[in-house]
Amino acid sequence: MSELIKIRDMTAKYDLSARTLRYYEDMGLIQSTRTEDYAYRLYDEANVKRLEQILILRKLNISIKDIQRIFSTSGSEIVLEVLGKKVDNIDEEISVLHELREIVLEFIHQIESADFGRESDVKLLYEKAKEIKTQIVNVDYQGNPSTINRLLEVTEKLDNKVPDIMIVRIPKFRAVTSGRVTFEELFGGEFMPWQEDHNDLFTPVIFNSCDFLCGREDKAEWIWAIRDEVTEADTYPYKIIEFPGGLYAAAVSVDGDGESHNRVRSKTEKWLENTNFVIDGDRELMGHMIYEDDEIKEGLGYNQMNLYAPIKLKEAK
């Protein structure tokens, strides 16, 4: 294969967004080129093969930082070290899940042999399941205390594997929008250079950054909060909108990494199952750069992004 591959063909072939490819470039994992007669990114055979390697490693849940280490050396020592640690992590999780299984089976045995008329027995188990750390520890449990202690230890280990999620209310604000376009047009078009030239129009909504990326299917848009006195004459040719705000479930992901985004979204939806909230399908998922910090990026191997899932209260049955 001697010809260069267009970015749109890369995204279609490997089911990736243009943002993810741009992120891999920013992290130094792949490189693109451009020609005089074509404004968008193009990839040669070597970088296509490198992308395939990246995707395999990401499927193995290898971090971007470790992938950088793997590609920075010519030998096999680093990749063997990284994969060896991954096996150890899997073994540890299997062990924890196996112990959790034994605890559940022990609870089943206790329930089967319990006196359903005694408040200190099955009823207590059900009550404490809602807030197991704070409630079970603070009561005189009449069952097997060692089982409760083991359960707390096991669930704490498993909790560490779930992203920290918080419910936030984003306020209403005025914003300029790029309009809904393809990811290729969004990152290779005119809006980003225009935004960089008009920073004086914007005002932060969260932290020291003011941009939200909203997307659904194969299109997305930037939303940048603007000062109250800004008019459409100032933002021409881009329109001003009133962003309605609302409730969102927020979790940290890797900037630009589609695999990380998908995992966080899946875990967020699962986490919501134990709340009185559900995903609000009438609004879009959003990404927000907390801030770009070279020291954090160097330490983690990536920048962090908050992912916001729109939520609403469950309808009463």
Q: How far apart are CA 246 and CA 263, in angstroms?
A: 23
Residue that is last in its domain, among 100, 132, 159: 159
CB contact at 8 A, 180 and 165 = no
Tell me the pLDDT tens digit for each residue of 250-260: 888 766 666 66
246 and 141, same domain (yes or no): no
Average pLDDT, the chain: 77
Residue that is last in its domain, among 71, 89, 107: 71
273 and 200, same domain (yes or no): yes
Instruction: Write 42-45 long-range contacts (CB < 8 A, 24+).
Output: 42/4, 42/5, 42/6, 42/7, 43/4, 43/5, 43/7, 43/10, 44/4, 44/5, 45/1, 45/2
201 and 122, same domain (yes or no): no
Q: How many domains does the chain have?
A: 3
Closest Cα to residue 219, out of 2, 53, 19, 68?
19
145 or 307: which leads in pLDDT:
307
Residue that is last in its domain, among 36, 71, 106: 71
Checking if the pLDDT of 118 tops 60, the result is no
Q: What residues does 285 pair with on adjacent strands?
A: 215
Closest Cα to residue 163, out of 290, 300, 59, 264?
264
Closest Cα to residue 243, out of 150, 186, 308?
308
33 and 112, same domain (yes or no): no
Work out the pLDDT band at 132, boundaries 50, 70, 90. Answer: very low
Mean pLDDT, rounded, for 100-123: 66
Checking if the pLDDT of 121 tops 60, the result is no
Parent domain of 87: 77-159
- Helix axis angle for 77-112 and 64-71, nearest 10°, is 150
Work out the pLDDT band at 264, boundaries 50, 70, 90. Answer: confident
The residues, any chain, with a CB within 8 Å of residue 174's CB and separated by 6 or more, are 225, 226, 228, 230, 240, 241, 242, 243
What CATH code is carried by the domain that includes residue 34?
1.10.1660.10
**What's the pLDDT score for residue 235?**
93
What CATH code is carried by the domain that includes residue 178?
3.20.80.10
Tell me the pLDDT tens digit for each residue of 216-263: 767 888 898 898 899 999 999 999 999 999 999 988 876 666 666 777
Q: How far apart are CA 260 and CA 61, in angstroms?
A: 9
What number of CA atoms fall less than 13 Å from residue 157's CA on the CB side? 16
β 219-225/165-170 pair status:
unpaired
% of residues, the chain, pLDDT over 70 = 72
Tell me the pLDDT tens digit for each residue of 133-174: 443 344 444 455 555 566 556 656 655 554 578 898 988 989
Residue with token string 């990839």? 43
Tell me the pLDDT tens digit for each residue of 68-111: 889 988 888 999 999 998 888 888 878 877 877 877 777 777 66
CB contact at 8 A, 183 and 19 = yes
- Cα distances from 12 to residues 30, 59, 253, in angstroms, run 17, 18, 23
